[in-house]
Amino acid sequence: MIEHFPLLPEELSIYQVTGLILMNLMCAFISTALSLGGGILMLVSLSFFLPPLALIPIHGVIQFGSNFSRIFVSFKQVEFKLIIPFVSGTLLGSYFGTHIIENISPSLGQIGVGLFILYSIFGKFPQLGKKFIFIGGIVSSTMSILFGASGPIVATFIRNLNFEPLKHVATHGAMMTFQHGLKCLAYFLIGFTYDQYLFFLILMILVGFIGTYLGRLFLISKGEKYFKKVLSLILFFGALRLIYLGLQDNL
């Protein structure tokens, strides 16, 4: 039975796995300390090593673990009244996304992820409130299935509710947990197998919990500008690389 679950995915060396584990520690920390950013950074990091077909589902499992740990350390701060309409929209959006993704090539997915990341850096999402949470679930979960990271979109739907930092991060984490969980299930149902990544994913989730706990301790305004500048720079070059790879496959 152990033969079906290798310790390392065949495309990753021990050094690459170690690097990704350390990166996930930092990403989980950033996601909790700044509410968002870690998920997209993790997506960019994985894109350097994973094949396009595995990129989004593997990222989904890692982010499921990271966001679940945010619920675990901040359960009392979750605004559960927003979760039901959001999850309802997420179910519908996941259905749409699953049927669309089968008609999109992996290279176009890379370009889409790259453009989405660039927009998350330079663009401005509309400020929407509570009554749009259901619509937010549909739009963000469809985007999540197609392009992998939807954290910035979800954050815009709760940003202008003026939650205090812990409540904002906890509620955002709860929403993303359901969304990433449904995304992982959707990819499983359309044929993606997680077998060879099992132990790698367990390690990533455990390390993500540590990063989340440390990020919660750091959840204050200090250092926010510094993190955002460095983060934007890393994401910018990562996005350009994804777009380049996608265009290269289509030329």
pLDDT tens digits along 184-201: 998 898 888 898 899 999
Whole-number pLDDT of residue 220 = 53
Number of compact structural domains in the chain = 1
Neighbours of 5 (CB within 10 A): 13
Provide the b/e sequence for 105-114 (b: ≥16 CB within 10 Å): ebbbbbbbbb
Q: Do 117 and 242 contact (CB within 8 A), yes or no?
A: yes
Closest Cα to residue 245, out of 153, 118, 134, 111? Answer: 111
Residue with tokens 């500008």: 225
Residue with tokens 């400020």: 127
Q: Do 211 and 66 contact (CB within 8 A), yes or no?
A: yes
- The phi-psi region of residue 234 (left if phi > 0; otherwise alpha if psi is between -120 and 50; otherwise beta) is alpha
Whole-number pLDDT of residue 163 = 77
Q: Do 20 and 208 contact (CB within 8 A), yes or no?
A: no
Neighbours of 135 (CB within 10 A): 16
For the stretch 210-250, pLDDT in tens is 988 888 777 655 555 555 666 667 667 777 877 887 787 66
- CA of 163: how far to CAs of 105, 171, 214, in Å? 39, 9, 21
Whole-number pLDDT of residue 64 = 93
Structural domain that includes position 173: 2-250
- Listed as ranges, residues in the chain with pLDDT below 50 are 1-2
Residue 13 φ then ψ, to 5° = -85, 170
Residues 6+ away with beta carbon under 8 Å from 146: 97, 100, 101, 104, 109, 112
